[in-house]
A and B are shown apart, each in its own frame.
Chain A
């Protein structure tokens, strides 16, 4: 009888741990926040890079149907890689691309834009990183696609843009229209 119980216990434990691990296998990304709860704080306050005026997200995302918020920094190497993609997206004329300059010096940020071109319609600075946290960002680079009319997050990319993400972005706005 005791032997039986031991056996049952072991089998039970093995089965339970098997299913726990199996469940864990299917869940690959713990890190992605729930997009449906896309409650952006539009009262977000930040200063422009090229002037000292303060603005809010509401004012930033008013023209065009879609806004693309891109968090970048001059010290961030992947941002350099993704810059051509932003220029490409800007040339489509369908996005209002907003840059958030993350924990950067003003001089370096301006140099970066001068050197690589400016895909942004507006650039705001985030010297303490607090604005990015309020947007739910992890670091640089990060890109958030917003539908300006419904004021919702459509897509969020953590890490630099690439060919695949570019194609996906184009697909999303095509389907939304």
Chain B
């Protein structure tokens, strides 16, 4: 009986250790997918095998181990590399056109269609 419990405990520990490790590296993947590899062309940090991207992934892992959350990691990298590093641009005066233009076009197209339909 005792041996059974011991074996089960060890088994449980190994599995949970592996799972928590896997969850951690999944987190790195998740964050690095949202980061632009600044020295590559059209690749994310996740996709790239460049020295820059490899170091970046280690850094993200370190930050996660330090207990930083996603937001803090993105902010840290933005403070070092600027807004350009994240794929999801914030709304500010430089990017407002980027966000608003599709909306304008959508409304404009809608008006065009409505007009066409009502004329018929």
Interface residues, chain A, with chain B CB atoms under 8 Å away: 2, 5-6, 9, 16, 20, 30-34, 37, 39, 102-103, 128-130, 132-136, 138-139
Contact = CB atoms under 8 A, between A and B. Distances in A.
Given A20-B97, A31-B84, A130-B55, 16 more contacts: A2-B116, A2-B119, A6-B112, A9-B108, A16-B101, A30-B84, A34-B82, A102-B51, A103-B55, A128-B55, A129-B52, A129-B58, A130-B59, A134-B59, A136-B81, A138-B38
Interface of B: 38-39, 51-52, 54-56, 58-59, 62, 79-82, 84, 97, 101, 108, 112, 115-116, 119
A30 B62 CA distance: 27
A165 B103 CA distance: 45
Contact of B51 (A2, A5, A30, A139): A139
Contacts, number: 52
Contacts of A5: 112, 115
14 contacts: A9-B108, A31-B84, A102-B51, A103-B51, A129-B51, A129-B52, A129-B54, A130-B55, A132-B55, A134-B80, A136-B80, A138-B39, A138-B52, A139-B39
